[in-house]
Amino acid sequence: MKVFVYDLEKCNGCHNCQIVCKDEHVDNEWLPYAMPQPDTGQFWSKVEEEVCGRVPHVRVNYLPVQCNHCDDAPCMKGNPAVKKRDDGLVIIDPVESKGERGIVDACPYGHIYWNEELEIPQKCTGCAHLLDDGWEVPRCVDACCTGALRFGEEADFADELKDAVVLGEEFGTAPRVYYLNKPERFVAATVVDVYADEVVEGATAMLQRAADEEVVSTGETDEFGDIWFEDVRPDVYRLWLKKDGYLDQAVDVDLTQKDCSIPELQFFKQPVKA
Amino acid sequence: MSNGTRGETVFRGISWSAFACSANTACVDVKDGKILRIRPLHYDDVTTVDQRRPWRIEARGKVFEPGEKTMLPPLSLSYKKRIYSPNRILRPMKRVDWDPEGERNPQNRGASKFEHISWDEATDIIASEIKRIHDQYGPYAILCQADGHGETKVVHAPHGAQALLLDLVGGYTLQSRQPDSWEGWYWGGKHIWGNEPVGMQVNQRNLYKDIAEHGDAVLYWGCDLETTPWGWGGEQPSRMAYFLEDLGLRSFFISPDLNYTGAAHKGKWIPVLPNTDAALQLAIAYVWLTEGTYYKDYIESHTIGFDWFERYVLGGEDGVPKTPKWAEGKCGVPSYTIKAFARYWAKHAVSIAHADGGGMIRSPFSAEPARLEVVLLAMQGIGRPGVGQLHLIEFGQFGFAEWNPMPRSEKYFEVPGAYHGWMELLDGHPSFIPKTMIPQALTLQEGEKLHWHGHGVCTAPRSDQFIPFEWPLDDAPYIHMIMSDSPSWTTCWNCGNAMQDALRNERIETIVMQHPWFENDAVFADLILPVNTMFEEKDIAVDNWTGQFNMMYIQDDCIEPIGESKSDWECAIEVAKKLEKFGGIYADLVERYTQNMDVDAWIKAGFESANVDPSLMTYEEFAEKKMCLAPTAVGWEDDPVALSAWYEDFSAQPMQTPTGKIEIYSTGLAEFFPDDKTRPVVPHWVEESDDLKERLSCERAKDYPFLMVTNHPRWRVHSEHDDITWLREIHTCKVAGPDGYMYEPVWLNPQDAGKLGIQDGDIVSIYNERGSVLGGAIVTERIMAGSVYQDHGARVDAIVRGKGGLDRGGANNLICPLATASENTVSEATNGFLVNVKKVDVEALAAQYPEEFSREYQPEDGLRVSAWIVDEDQ
């Protein structure tokens, strides 16, 4: 059984996967696997992006998405036009599915598109027409330059998949598309002694969860006064700063909705007694 | 793989240097006369591993290898849509109100429509116009623009096929193109450390391996390796950056925008206001000077003039010490960050990476930050292990192996014997005009001349910059006719609005252009010839630009020419056929031009000019296999690292400067331009000049309080690709307006957007005295406050032409400064200029300009040529 594995740390956001899917399927008919994809508006492979943080602590997260070729695919239920292949790919028969708009609605991910002109539901086929003709991988995988997107036997990826996540786990559809290094939220700050006009290196930073006061992460500010806590679960926290000779500093950070950047976190020296 | 899904496979380089050097080698699958797909070439499909001898870079326990396939960018993979674009010019076209026998109506260029004419009629007109201009004014009255941004072809060269023809009948006036993507290096870098012909560290030999082994950090200084290299060599630089990160090197992104490199890679972003890098650089030097953290012995032995620099930085010259606090006020980087950065740098082995472009190098006074970067690198001992200036684009450009940081190939292919274009050479064209001065040249008053220094072409040496020139030559005519290919001056050069005015000057009697698509300057033509895309032509190609494997190959034509299009070379032949009927100097012109050689014969000539060792491949094998791949050179590991010998002893590997040292006091500038305040002998912060007032400190900034970032575009190569439907769907490519028009994105920081009352998705105008261009707002933290970002090169859609005009497409080169970046250069200053931004009501604009706003337009692909053709039934 095949899987798609995206390593998001290696995804450079070039959109090649999105583009070559169109190169393969727009204006090309691959019956019995697929009818042509409309020129625009459908994205059997799609790169989503999200800009997080504030200047100067900004990250861009690219997230390529596609049909998850679920083992327990809602689109298959009660729809004989949708079939699971032995290799795990889910294919919508382009002839049998004519008029079956319910197939589009069945997908909790929104990865099935309705072709108005042909009156058929359409989505990623895993380029099954190529695989069955001896090609090694689908077009999107072939076009990926950085190795962020791979395709192959599940067993060959077993070691890596232990740390992988799927999208929409709560849908319970057993997706066959896995993601490595999917970022959670971050807290970033530049710690500055504004009176000295210097960044503060070597301050201990602790991230304490508000709900139970557990310290979930600790670190030290670097040569730039920067502290980055990565992959933090969405929640409410208190960021503590401590360093000898400085007053302890605490800032509340709310990561429930978005990442947090503190461009200039002021840190004060203990007053010197006369 | 069977032929069922694959079709017939053709090799093809899909890149846009537009000279004879291709890249982005692809496999194009063709079936039943149609292009099925464009995909990467897998090296195993054309060679064995033994034949290739792939290099291995081992560093810190990890291995980097060239990869199994070519690293095509989306610009190549989506190109099918460009080939079949509805905006293709399919037949010759003539402007309806341009009558070569009567009224020419030059004032209507860019506004009036066209009618289709036959090839016969079109070439009759062109030939008789050339003859008439020759008789009436002489050959120098014809300006050839033979360097626009276009496709890369060799036999069918889009760069000057027509110029080569005119060379055979008395010559022409050449538009001389300067290095638009590395201006500061050329006009500044060369004066401080030579490094011909680029002005950057051109000896890159084994530099990547050296940095992988010994480096601590890479500064991507205005460098977007995830964008600029795409059109010229694909995505290999992306893999290179990831590998360095894997090894634990730190990445720094220094630019006003978190560009696509900062988006894809992890590191520290140091936002710096557009074109204020020189202030940041000076403050870093200040920290090193005052803290004594620089290579003093090296400065003593390897450089001259450091004392002048030290005096300036410390305030001895002007009473202003260039402290971090001083710099903060100019560049927007907090002084505490500047100090921390300077200290980190002084303690580590730090390299700086560039990939052409980058704001500072294309901005006013660009020679200053270029030279200051060299000073900083010198202060930290450039040439020592892990410290270099890394070049991440166009590996092996100019055909010399050192200009490639990756392991050396056994062969760098060049095929001048097949090339029909202009080669950016100096000789043979006494009458030439720098490209940046064309608008002035076209509109000179009777009796006036232009004066400047240097040919400006990218191959010219440092000393060429001291030669004074003038135009027109004595007793030579002004320009009365223009012949252009790949016409994109207004979209890519300095102050396109001035050019739009110049093109409507009544002295210009005839403008002939040839291009595949009806875009940009083409709208201003009188007569247009339809050119085909590279996919419709058989040609030869070379690809030296990836650092993977160098290749030379035959590119079969994939499809029949679309419409009545012909290649640029064939267009020139058609004109030659008509010209030779006039006899005299025109006699036998076709034979003289083609040398009685067909495309295959030219390909063979190209192969022969490449001087391939027969043990690698003979022509017979090449003709059969169509692909010649050069293996990695044996013994590449033993090549000395770039500047290592220089580091040990400057005289062992001197710089190409008069003293052989890094000339912080540039002796050439001191001799020829001692009083030039816009490019002083020792690099300075230049606030403003008589011609360029583009700083936030300038009086103009009260009206135009933002600094503009105009990067090389992410989803185009300059002004190409703007009609590709699949790219236009990408979030950062276009912004949909309420009127259905897809506007060019404008990035605004939320702070600025808030002050301006602009929200994400609003349509805005970016403007200054030179005009305004529209765009769609993206309110984002990817741009620092005080800066406005819009990629350059969006397709022109002129609502009001000329100075003070209005462009709907967002072609911001229209509103760049016209003045050159410093007095004695002919460099463009197309980034880091002042603008203001305001929200606009597109419905009100549409009511004001109903005709212009109702041109035929499809959101998916944009403007279409059909909008400009009169109804032929009438």
In order, the DSSP letters of B439-501 are: HHHHTPPTT--EEEES---TT--GGGGG-EEEESPTT-----EEEEES--HHHHSS-HHHHHH
Residue B1, pLDDT score: 44
**Closest CA relative to residue B130, chosen from B527, B675, B687, B641:** B527
| Domain ranges, ordered by start, for chain B | 93-172+424-441+467-531+566-594, 183-392+656-664, 699-868
Residues 224-253 of B with CB under 8 A from A: 226, 234-236, 238-239, 242
Task: Please list, in sequence order, all residues whose beta carbon lies within 8 angstroms of the beta carbon of residue B636, skipping any fewer than 6 positions away.
Answer: B55, B206, B407, B408
Does A60 contact B731 at a Cβ distance shorter than 8 Å?
Answer: no
Residue B873, pLDDT score: 56
Contact A188, A77 (CB under 8 A): no
Instruction: Determine the residue type at A154.
Output: E
Long-range contacts of range B447-452, CB-CB < 8 Å, 24 or more positions apart?
B452/B824, B452/B826
Residue B857: DSSP 8-state: E
Rg (CA), chain A: 24
To test the contact with chain B by mutation, choose from A17, A19, A51, A131 the residue with the greatest count of B C-beta atoms within 10 A, namely: A19
Does B264 contact A129 at a Cβ distance shorter than 8 Å?
Answer: no
Helix (H) or strand (E) holding B217: strand B217-221
Token code pair at residue B687? 């606030």
Q: What are phi and psi of B774, to 5 degrees?
A: -95, 165
Does B5 contact A30 at a Cβ distance shorter than 8 Å?
Answer: yes
All residues of chain A having their beta carbon less than 8 Å from the beta carbon of residue B73 are 14, 16
Helix (H, G, I), strand (E, B) or coil at B80: helix
Instruction: Determine the residue type at A251.
Output: V
All residues of chain A having their beta carbon less than 8 Å from the beta carbon of residue B234 are 145
Distance CA B299, CA B346 (A): 14
Angle among Cα B320, B322, B324 to the nearest 5 degrees reads: 130
Nearest to B74 among A19, A39, A60 (CB): A19
All residues of chain A having their beta carbon less than 8 Å from the beta carbon of residue B334 are 192, 264
Residue B872, pLDDT score: 67
Residue B358, pLDDT score: 86
Beta bridge partners of B391: B354
Q: Does B348 contact chain A (CB < 8 Å)?
A: no
Nearest to B36 among A18, A28, A40 (CB): A28
All residues of chain B having their beta carbon less than 8 Å from the beta carbon of residue A40 are 725-726, 729, 860
All residues of chain B having their beta carbon less than 8 Å from the beta carbon of residue A36 are none
Does A51 contact B77 at a Cβ distance shorter than 8 Å?
Answer: no
Nearest to B337 among A49, A146, A224 (CB): A224
Count of pairs with CB atoms under 8 A, one residue in A, one in B: 151
- Residue B16's alpha-carbon distances to A13, B229, B399, B486, in angstroms, are 22, 11, 17, 11
All residues of chain A having their beta carbon less than 8 Å from the beta carbon of residue B732 are 49
Rounded to a whole number of angstroms, the distance from the CA of A176 to the nearest CA of chain B is 25
Residue B48, pLDDT score: 97
Q: What are phi and psi of B10, to 5 degrees?
A: -120, 135
Task: Please list, in sequence order, all residues whose beta carbon lies within 8 angstroms of the beta carbon of residue B129, skipping any fewer than 6 positions away.
Answer: B100, B481, B509, B510, B512
Distance CA B72, CA B78 (A): 10
Nearest chain A residue to B258 by CA distance is A58
All residues of chain A having their beta carbon less than 8 Å from the beta carbon of residue B729 are 40-41, 43
Architecture in CATH for domain A185-266 = Sandwich (2.60)
Residues 1-20 of B with CB under 8 A from A: 1-2, 4-6
A172: left (phi over 0), alpha (psi -120 to 50) or beta: left
All residues of chain A having their beta carbon less than 8 Å from the beta carbon of residue B780 are 51
Does B71 contact A145 at a Cβ distance shorter than 8 Å?
Answer: yes
Residue B640: DSSP 8-state: P
Q: Is B21 exposed, middle or buried (0-12, 13-18, 19+ CB in 10 A)?
A: buried
Distance CA B734, CA A265 (A): 36
Helix (H, G, I), strand (E, B) or coil at B16: coil
Distance CA B774, CA B840 (A): 8
Instruction: Determine the residue type at A168.
Output: G
In order, the DSSP letters of chain A are: -EEEEEEGGG-----HHHHHHHHHHBT--BTTTBPPBPSSS--SEEEEEEEEEETTEEEEEEEEEE----TT-GGGTT-TTEEE-TTS-EEE-TTTTTT-THHHHH-TT---EEETTTTEEE---TTHHHHTTT-SS-HHHHH-SSS-EEEEEGGGGHHHHTT-B-TTGGG----SEEEES---EEEEEEEEETTTTEE--S-EEEEEETTT--EEEEEE--TTSEEEEEEEPSSEEEEEEE-TTB--EEEEEE-SSS-EEEEEEE--BPPPP-
Task: Please list, in sequence order, all residues whose beta carbon lies within 8 angstroms of the beta carbon of residue B509, skipping any fewer than 6 positions away.
Answer: B104, B106, B129, B133, B480, B481
Nearest to B40 among A10, A130, A143 (CB): A143
Place of tokens 């009260």: B702
Token code pair at residue B30? 């063709």
* Length in residues, chain A: 274
Distance CA B56, CA B50 (A): 14
All residues of chain A having their beta carbon less than 8 Å from the beta carbon of residue B239 are 145-146
Task: Please list, in sequence order, all residues whose beta carbon lies within 8 angstroms of the beta carbon of residue A167, skipping any fewer than 6 positions away.
Answer: A65, A68, A109, A175, A177, A179
Full 3-state SS string of B727-778: HHCCCCCCEECCCCCEECEEEECHHHHHHHCCCCCCEEEEEECCEEEEEEEE
Helix (H) or strand (E) holding B164: helix B161-167
Distance CA B731, CA B711 (A): 17
Residues 72-101 of B with CB under 8 A from A: 72-74, 77-78, 80
- Domains A2-180 and A185-266 belong to one CATH topology: no
Task: Please list, in sequence order, all residues whose beta carbon lies within 8 angstroms of the beta carbon of residue A249, skipping any fewer than 6 positions away.
Answer: A240, A241, A242, A265, A266, A267, A268
**Overall fold of domain B699-868:** Barwin-like endoglucanases (2.40.40)
Residue B22, pLDDT score: 87
Write the ipTM: 0.97
Place of tokens 């011609």: B691
Nearest to A198 among B271, B336, B780 (CB): B336
Distance CA B104, CA A234 (A): 69
What number of CA atoms fall less than 13 Å from residue B307's CA on the CB side? 1
Distance of alpha carbon B756 from its chain centroid, rounded? 33
Does B74 contact A14 at a Cβ distance shorter than 8 Å?
Answer: yes
Q: Domain B183-392+656-664: state its class.
A: alpha beta
Region A2-180: CATH code: 3.30.70.20
Helix (H) or strand (E) holding B593: helix B589-594
Distance CA A267, CA A200 (A): 8
What is the biggest distance separating any 2 CA atoms in chain A, rounded to whole angstroms?
Answer: 88
Does A23 contact B38 at a Cβ distance shorter than 8 Å?
Answer: yes
Rounded to a whole number of angstroms, the distance from the CA of A258 to the nearest CA of chain B is 13
Helix (H, G, I), strand (E, B) or coil at B159: coil
Mean pLDDT by 10 residues, chain B (874 residues): 81 90 95 96 97 98 97 98 97 98 97 97 98 98 93 92 95 95 97 97 98 98 97 96 98 98 98 98 98 98 98 98 98 98 98 93 98 98 98 88 94 94 80 97 97 95 97 97 96 97 98 97 97 97 94 97 97 98 98 97 98 97 97 97 98 97 98 98 98 98 98 96 98 97 98 98 98 98 98 97 98 98 97 98 97 94 95 64
Exposure string for B553-591, b = 16+ CB within 10 A, e = fewer: bbbbbbbebbebbbbbbbbbbbbbebbbebeeebeebbe
**Overall fold of domain B93-172+424-441+467-531+566-594:** Rossmann fold (3.40.50)
Q: What are phi and psi of B543, to 5 degrees?
A: -140, 100
Q: What are phi and psi of A70, to 5 degrees?
A: -60, 145
Distance CA B322, CA B376 (A): 14
| Domain ranges, ordered by start, for chain A | 2-180, 185-266
Summarised one tens digit per residue, pLDDT across range A141-187 is 999 999 999 999 999 999 999 999 999 999 999 999 999 999 999 99
Distance CA B543, CA B368 (A): 33
- Residue B837's alpha-carbon distances to A46, B224, B774, B812, B834, in angstroms, are 32, 25, 9, 13, 10
Contact B371, B824 (CB under 8 A): no
Does A134 contact B780 at a Cβ distance shorter than 8 Å?
Answer: no
Rounded to a whole number of angstroms, the distance from the CA of A201 to the nearest CA of chain B is 9
A48: left (phi over 0), alpha (psi -120 to 50) or beta: beta
